[in-house]
Structure 1
Amino acid sequence: MKKLSIALLAFLMILAVYGCSQNNEVYEKMIEQGMQQIEKEEYERAENFFEKALDQKTKDEKATMLVQQIKIMLKAKTAFDSGDFETAKISVEEVLKTKGGTEKLGEKAKGLVEQMEEMEEAKDKYSSNYNEAKKNFKQGELDQSLNVLEEVLEKDLSHPFFSELKEDCEALATKVKEAKEETEAKDVAEVEAQAKVEAKAKAEAEKKTAAEKAEKEKQAAEEKEQKEAASKDIGAAEGYWLTEDQTEACHLTSSYLTCAVKQSDVGFKHDITHIHHISSTELELTFNNGHKTQIVLANNNVLEGEVGRLNRVSKEEANAIYEGYYELP
């Protein structure tokens, strides 16, 4: 009987040692998993693993401090996510002061502080932009105000920390747009009124121009009759002429000389008031501006004058050098 009791006691001791060994293995695994979750910033899952480790060793100081530290970090993260940076910073200080915790969590807490500082710096800058836009709006500089606001609203303001600033910017942007619409509508009305005034003035000017044109046409007709009576036939020199380098073409008739440079949409035309036959091949032309020039018909297809040597061409060949920019009559 005594031998049986000793054997039972030994068996129970083996079970206890085995159970203790199993507890240690689970404990270490839970601690390791919790650390991995901290690295991923999965703080709720990390807390769950640390509490499971504490279940294995209910009075373990390390697991107890890790649970305490991670709960404070969760509080800091919750405050950060809600935009309450003041509370978040207080909790971060507690995380860093927790003795027996993990340095990894301390590093994450410091990183959270840096993130908050960056966001606070950005908010100060955006707030300054908002005040600038507000000032521009009051001064009537609507485009400049709207540009500043749109630039701010293009930033990532999704965090609750920026919510109030975002609402202010959106509200001011709406006011600026409404003011712009009113200003533009007023400008349109003024433009339309001015357009009516200009249209009336244009109609009157066109009427006057038409009358002047009619008078000029009448005078031109009379002058043409006079020129035709005073002039002689241009003879074989009449026709279309092209310089040898094909950069200028002319049309010569008994009543006018018109020329233009290659690819030009501007030419000149001079009416001929008198034709003097110096010889059978040489002519002196007098234009309506008083200018005189001499031309020599070297042969039926070659003409020499002030612009140099010209060759006789068809109307189509003469106009071809202008490529649609100009057309000789």
Structure 2
Amino acid sequence: MKKVVSGLIVCFTLLAIFGCSKNNEIYEKMMEQGLLQIEKEEYASAENFFEKALDEKPKDEKATKLIKQTQQMIIAQKEFDEGDFEAAKSSAEKVEKVEDGSEALQEKAKSLIGQMEKMEKEKEEYTASFDEAKQHHEQGEFDDSLGILDKVLENDLGHPFFSELKEEIDTLKGEVRDAKEIALAEAEAKAKAEAEAKAKAEAEAKAKAEAEAKAAAEKAEIERKAAEEKAKQEAQSKDIGAAGGYWLTEDRTEACHLTSTYLACAVKQSDVIFKNDIFNINHISSTEIELTFSFGHKSRITLSGNNVLQGESGRMNRVSKEEANSIYDGYYELP
């Protein structure tokens, strides 16, 4: 009986020894594979291997720590991939703080934090460039704005961390292009309008020159006739002497034409010319004349020098026919 029992004990002992040896071998292999996957950054696969190792050695402290550390790295990587750098940094820092875990994972976490810090710095630079491009756009400097935006877009902005900024850049670039097209169209329209205006101005200048030439010829003819008329009037106004001619009040509101046969006057704001025939001229002195009109009224006028006349309308100055008539704006003309 004792021999049988002894035999069974030996048998179970051998099975335990060989069984434990096999478990250790699998454990070591799973741990080795898990660490290898960490080097490859295949964290989900690494976690799987560590869990298999833990199956071979339940409650194994090393495998348990590696599983937790790897899971935290998976979370950090996921948050990084989603662009949530604040959460990703926090998770990566937890990976770094695991004691007796994987140094490789700690280095990977440290590297990930460094990568995020680098990308954050790049984003600040891209944002500054975006703001500069926006300012150029607002100032109408479209080519400068587009140049800056294109330079920023040469960088890899595919990561979700840059997605919002990239969208803003793409939107601004579209706005700048549209504004540039509008500005070009407006510039072309302006140039066309200026060319048309120039052509019109040249045509008007030519027409004006022709009109001035014609007016000059007409003026010369008028002056010739006026000279003839003046000579005729002078011959007719011998009796009136130096008082004959065109007269204008100092306030330029009334003008008169005095001849040997009539006195014609009109007020600036009126629309009627008053013409009275002279019946008699009486030279009281060399400077004072009494006029008797056909309707019986008498009026005295006084000459001060040769160009100032004092009459019932007040003080008047000698002027040309054209100057006398100029106050009527062409509505009528003194005879």
TM-score bucket of the superposed structures, by smaller chain: 0.5 to 0.7
Tell me what 1:87 maps to: 87
Shift of 1:190: 2.3
Give a deviation string over 1:247-288, Cα, whole Å, max 9, x none. xxxxxxxxxxxxxxxxxxxxxxxxxxxxxxxxxxxxxxxxxx
Tell me what 1:181 maps to: 181
Shift of 1:198: 6.7
CA–CA separation in structure 1 for the residues paired with 2:127 and 2:106: 31
Q: Is 1:50 aligned to 2:66, yes or no?
A: no
CA–CA separation in structure 1 for the residues paired with 2:25 and 2:104: 22
CA–CA separation in structure 2 for the residues paired with 1:168 and 1:153: 11
CA–CA separation in structure 2 for the residues paired with 1:202 and 1:13: 121
CA–CA separation in structure 1 for the residues paired with 2:174 and 2:20: 69
> Which amino acid in structure 2 is aligned with residue 193 of structure 1?
A
> Which amino acid in structure 1 is aligned with residue 189 of structure 2?
A
Give a deviation string over 1:181-225, Cα, whole Å, max 9, x none. 11111112223334556778999xxxxxxxxxxxxxxxxxxxxxx
Tell me what 1:165 maps to: 165
Tell me what 2:16 maps to: 16
CA–CA separation in structure 2 for the residues paired with 1:195 and 1:38: 74
CA–CA separation in structure 2 for the residues paired with 1:38 and 1:195: 74
Q: TM-score, normalised by structure 2?
A: 0.58
The DSSP-based 3-state class of the residue aligned with 2:155 is: coil
CA–CA separation in structure 1 for the residues paired with 2:180 and 2:186: 10
Tell me what 1:244 maps to: none
Percent identity over the alignment is 55
Shift of 1:141: 1.2
Provide the aligned length of Structure 1 versus Structure 2: 204
CA–CA separation in structure 1 for the residues paired with 2:12 and 2:21: 14
Tell me what 2:70 maps to: 70
Q: Which runs of 5+ in 1 are unaligned?
A: 204-329
Give a deviation string over 1:134-169, Cα, whole Å, max 9, x none. 111111111111111111112100000001100111
> Which amino acid in structure 2 is aligned with residue 156 of structure 1?
D
Q: TM-score, normalised by structure 1?
A: 0.59
The DSSP-based 3-state class of the residue aligned with 2:140 is: coil
Tell me what 1:134 maps to: 134
The DSSP-based 3-state class of the residue aligned with 1:144 is: helix
> Which amino acid in structure 2 is aligned with residue 78 of structure 1?
K
The DSSP-based 3-state class of the residue aligned with 2:100 is: coil
Tell me what 1:231 maps to: none
CA–CA separation in structure 2 for the residues paired with 1:117 and 1:161: 12
CA–CA separation in structure 1 for the residues paired with 2:9 and 2:198: 118
Write out aligned runs for 1:88-237 (5 A).
88-196=88-196
> Which amino acid in structure 2 is aligned with residue 98 of structure 1?
V
> Which amino acid in structure 2 is aligned with residue 66 of structure 1?
L
CA–CA separation in structure 2 for the residues paired with 1:40 and 1:55: 23
> Which amino acid in structure 2 is aligned with residue 73 of structure 1?
M
CA–CA separation in structure 1 for the residues paired with 2:152 and 2:27: 50
Give a deviation string over 1:269-328, Cα, whole Å, max 9, x none. xxxxxxxxxxxxxxxxxxxxxxxxxxxxxxxxxxxxxxxxxxxxxxxxxxxxxxxxxxxx
The DSSP-based 3-state class of the residue aligned with 2:41 is: coil
CA–CA separation in structure 2 for the residues paired with 1:188 and 1:139: 20
CA–CA separation in structure 1 for the residues paired with 2:19 and 2:192: 95
> Which amino acid in structure 1 is aligned with residue 42 of structure 2?
E
The DSSP-based 3-state class of the residue aligned with 1:179 is: helix
Computing the radius of gyration from Cα coordinates, the structure with the larger value is 2
> Which amino acid in structure 2 is aligned with residue 34 of structure 1?
G
Write out aligned runs for 1:19-34 (5 A).
19-34=19-34
Alpha-carbon RMSD across the aligned residues, in angstroms, is 2.0
Q: Which runs of 5+ in 2 are unaligned?
A: 204-335
Give a deviation string over 1:99-130, Cα, whole Å, max 9, x none. 22011111111110110111011000000001
> Which amino acid in structure 2 is aligned with residue 129 of structure 1?
S
